[in-house]
Amino acid sequence: MSDVADSDHTPQATPPTARVAVLDNAGAPPTAGLWRPSRHFLAWITPTATLLVLLLGLPTARTVILSWTDNGRFVGLENYIRVLSDPQVRVALRNTLLWAVVVPLIVTCLGYALAVTTRARWGGRVITTVLVAPIALPMVAVGIAFRLLYHPDPAYGLAAWLAAPLSHLTGAGPDTALPMLWPWLGRWLGPWLGPRLITVAAITAFVWAWAGLAMLVFRYALHTIPPEIEDVARAEGATALGVLRTVHFPLLRRVAIVLFALAAAAASRTFELILVLAPGSVQDEAELLSLHVWRSYHQGPPGHAAALGVLWLMAVLAGVLLFRRAIHDPTRQPVLLPDTDQPQNWWRQRRTRVRVRRVILSVALLVFWCIPVALLVLTSLHNPVEQALHGWRAPLSLDSYREVLPVLTGPLLRTFLLAGAVMLIVVALSAPAAYALTWLGRPSRPWDLAVLLCALVLPIQVIADPLSEVLGVLRLSGTTGAVILTHVVLGIPVTTLILRSAFEARPPAHQVDLVRLRDSNWRALLTVVVPHARPAVIAAAALQFVQVWNDVVVSLLFDASQVTPIGITILGEARQFSTGAGTAAAGAVLASLPPLVVVITCWRSIVETIGAGVRRI
């Protein structure tokens, strides 16, 4: 089809005529390989499969067995009945359900709105970088930034400072400004940052961190839709909601489902964000299963924690089945395509008239999205004592960095070595597994994708105690090797999925088969497959580095005292938040720089990999 939208003909008074076409919104490109079954398949897949079975499969089975026992005695469903009758468990279940359903819906809808708003806008590359950068920040740093944002004292918290004029007008204190503004929400909001609002504050922090990634995925998906389709819909009088209903929703349904599933898996496992953002007095109100299961293994009978973990695991597996069913059958949606004989630059004229509005909207979006990071940096540029006494009124100083830098030098170096080692091991193990699944197996293996998805979404808290037993048998308990091995087995599923998709789409089949027959599979992998899929390999390595760098859960669960990664150190600084907000903010800024640099350096490969993934959805 010719690009009629760029025609220079005179605008027409009547909308263009249209013809009916059919678009396949989800048809994946044909697989590159010849898919000959190979006797080398098991040999190539064995190292990865062994790790997954030994460190994920066996601990999962052990957790199920523990949920039926009490001190070695079989009790059936007794543990399940006890945990479900616990009021605190009900709070954790309610909050987890909220995080797993409502939060992904907000992320998906906001990502779509941002994609539509920022598409072809002024400063598009800058906006994209600013919106997507938060996904690279450690959740510990995000929690500190939003705790500063929601601090109840106007001298320290931006939100309370903005609410202060309202409190003067109403005669109320800053702690009751918002309930008086919305009386019908007063009993829910309570005091500023009260027990109910803490969940709202944590949700806003998560959405801020994830909405940019959803926006990027939707923007690439929108670029795959021919602009003529939207032009015809608008010419027929469709509003923005009409375009969403008749064009975008049918064609982007699977993309939205994938984003919803990713956000749900991440939101339900939120851990360090609650630890940092929620003060101790209201942390019980913000309790999630990820936190409650972790505490239960240390404070209660193992059977109770195992029963709760099995319930969580069943919910996760049900979500995986729903996800697979939702994206299994690609739809073919009839849409209207414009008649190529009609001039179409009437819509271009409209876009020119609203250019000033685009600039204003883009600047406002940039400023709004930079507020948490700016607040974090501003707080770090104060003397710790002066900041604790006077808040924003304290003079600017680098004393917080001078105080925290000697403490963080060792953890920064150790975390860099840990993340680098895990990144190399994961890529080295995942690349042969992805090659075997792509070139040495059979087409349409439903079980390999199902196994990788289940391993990807398996919450580490569910298998923490049994996994510690396995590591103890291997004589790795409490060592650096335990932390590395745990990170490796958690990183293999997602890295294998990324590389598998890239290996299928990238290399020409004849080149791979020629090298395989002439030399060996290893030479085909290293000389043909990996070079053709270089952007995906770089993206997978960068994402794995960022994941390990930002991790706190594994280090807390498996006693990383020999490593003491940067996340644990910053979490310790955040526990003294009332008197050490300046040093906590300075530490969060320093801890955020390496993953941010990695993402920016590998930005092109990451974006290309995401774009290729969107095209294959």
What is the pLDDT, as a whole number, of residue 165?
Answer: 67
Work out the average pLDDT over 376-385: 88
Residue bearing the bigger pLDDT, 580 or 535: 535
pLDDT band of residue 107 (cuts 50, 70, 90) is: very high
The least confident of 157-166, 212-221, 416-425, 556-565 is 157-166
How does DSSP assign 574-616, residue by residue? Answer: HTTHHHHHHHHHHHHHHHHHHHHHHHHHTHHHHHHHHHHHHHH
Most confident listed range (9-18, 53-62, 278-287): 53-62
Query: Residue 182: pLDDT above 50?
Result: no
Residue 522, judged by CB atoms within 10 A of its CB (0-12, 13-18, 19+), counts as middle
Contacts 24+ apart (CB under 8 A), 24-30: 24/330, 24/332, 25/250, 25/251, 25/252, 25/253, 25/254, 25/330, 25/331, 25/332, 25/333, 26/254, 26/327, 26/330, 26/331, 26/617, 27/330, 28/616, 29/505, 29/615, 29/616
Kindly report the backbone phi and psi dihedral angles of residue 235, in degrees, each rounded to the nearest multiple of 5, phi listed first.
-65, -30
What is the pLDDT, as a whole number, of residue 293?
Answer: 85
Work out the average pLDDT over 319-334: 65
What is the pLDDT, as a whole number, of residue 612?
Answer: 77
Arithmetic mean of pLDDT over the chain? 78
How big is the chain, counted in residues? 617
Spatial CA neighbour of 25 closest among 226, 210, 320: 226
CA angle 109, 114, 120 (to 5 degrees): 140
What is the pLDDT, as a whole number, of residue 373?
Answer: 92
pLDDT band of residue 506 (cuts 50, 70, 90) is: low
List domains and CATH numbers for the chain: 38-150+193-616 (1.10.3720.10)
Query: Residue 594: pLDDT above 70?
Result: yes
pLDDT band of residue 510 (cuts 50, 70, 90) is: low
Q: How far apart are CA 464 and CA 348, in angstroms?
A: 57
Query: Residue 36: pLDDT above 60?
Result: no
- Name, in order, each residue with C-beta under 8 angstroms of 33's C-beta and a sequence gap of 6 or more: 438, 439, 504, 509, 512, 513
pLDDT in tens, 339-379: 434 344 433 444 444 456 667 777 788 888 999 999 999 99
pLDDT in tens, 192-230: 334 457 788 889 999 999 999 999 888 888 887 877 777
Work out the average pLDDT over 323-328: 73
What is the pLDDT, as a whole number, of residue 420?
Answer: 95
Work out the average pLDDT over 323-340: 53
pLDDT in tens, 514-537: 776 677 788 888 888 888 889 999
